Amino acid sequence: MKITNIPITKLHAFDGHPYKVLDDGEMDELTGSVRENGVLSPLIVRPLEDTEHEYEVISGHRRLHAAERAGMQSVPAFIYEIDRDEAAVLLVDSNLHREHILPSEKAFAYKLKMDALTHRGITCGQVGHKSRDGISDTDSGRTVQRYIRLTKLIPELLQMMDEGRIAFSVGVELSFLNERQQHDLLDAIDLNDCTPSYSQACRMHREAATITANRISEIMAEEKPNQREQIRLRREDFRKYFPSSYTDQQIMRDIMCGLDLLKRQRSRDRDAR
């Protein structure tokens, strides 16, 4: 298979691909690299049906965006003569082992691959299946199905998961609420300035058939043990000190490292005196 230089105007993003292409610090670095060295790793594309020399990107959406930002007119690519279902499987498999992948990306990636396999007549593992199910070579069938459940969440709750404000297990339980109930929960989160615990999420799941906005507010208003005697900091006050791509977990990690350094510095200053 040979590398072909394809005009950027002839390349189109894979319709419904789950991976986010963000204009963040990492993209700035990638754009700088592409501007200086070109696209070193060719994209993988496939010919679009019923078009002439138009292609759909399977792998390389971030490289393509960086090339556009760098002002390039064309990029190198491998052309695979495959249908959309095969392309969907390849797209997911070529990205799942990235170092940084958000829960929402993984959720929609697994769903995309499951839908493609199902369309091709390949049966995937059922919930509770302990072995691999053909969708992932790292996660069990049950874990895959739990990720796919996350696609039932409204975008605002998915964003909270990506930011690390809602745990994976909590998100799975909340996915059993319907869209209206999830919006009621979002209002309760804003009102109480806290996210649901796993116990609260499980109760809302159990009551999902009849739960009302008032009941959701009642559950969310409960004081949780880990919320007592807390110091509250507004995210906007310290967000500027961290890369835009950082999750809340990464921010907390750096804050704790910084406090540890400050403590050691104060200890050294006392010893010096």
Looking at residue 128, its pLDDT comes to: 31
Looking at residue 93, its pLDDT comes to: 84
Tell me how far apart the alpha carbons of residues 205 and 175 are, in angstroms, rounded to a whole number: 8
269 contact partners, CB below 8 Å, separation of at least 6: none
Looking at residue 126, its pLDDT comes to: 40
Exposure string for 194-213, b = 16+ CB within 10 A, e = fewer: bbbbeebbbbbeeeeeebee
Q: What is the pLDDT of residues 28-64, one digit of tens each?
A: 999 999 999 999 999 999 999 888 889 999 988 999 9
Tokens 């949780």 found at? 224
Helix, strand or coil, per DSSP, at residue 263? helix
Options 2.60.40.10, 3.90.1530.10, 3.30.70.100, 3.30.1340.10; CATH for 1-81 is 3.90.1530.10
Q: Where are the domains of the chain?
A: 1-81, 153-227, 235-272
Looking at residue 135, its pLDDT comes to: 72
Tokens encoding 145: 């199905």
Looking at residue 129, its pLDDT comes to: 36
Give the chain's residues under pLDDT 50.
126-132, 228-229
Where helices occur in the chain by DSSP H, the ranges are 25-37, 61-69, 84-95, 103-119, 141-149, 155-162, 168-174, 179-192, 198-206, 213-220, 235-238, 248-272
184 contact partners, CB below 8 Å, separation of at least 6: 212, 213, 216, 217
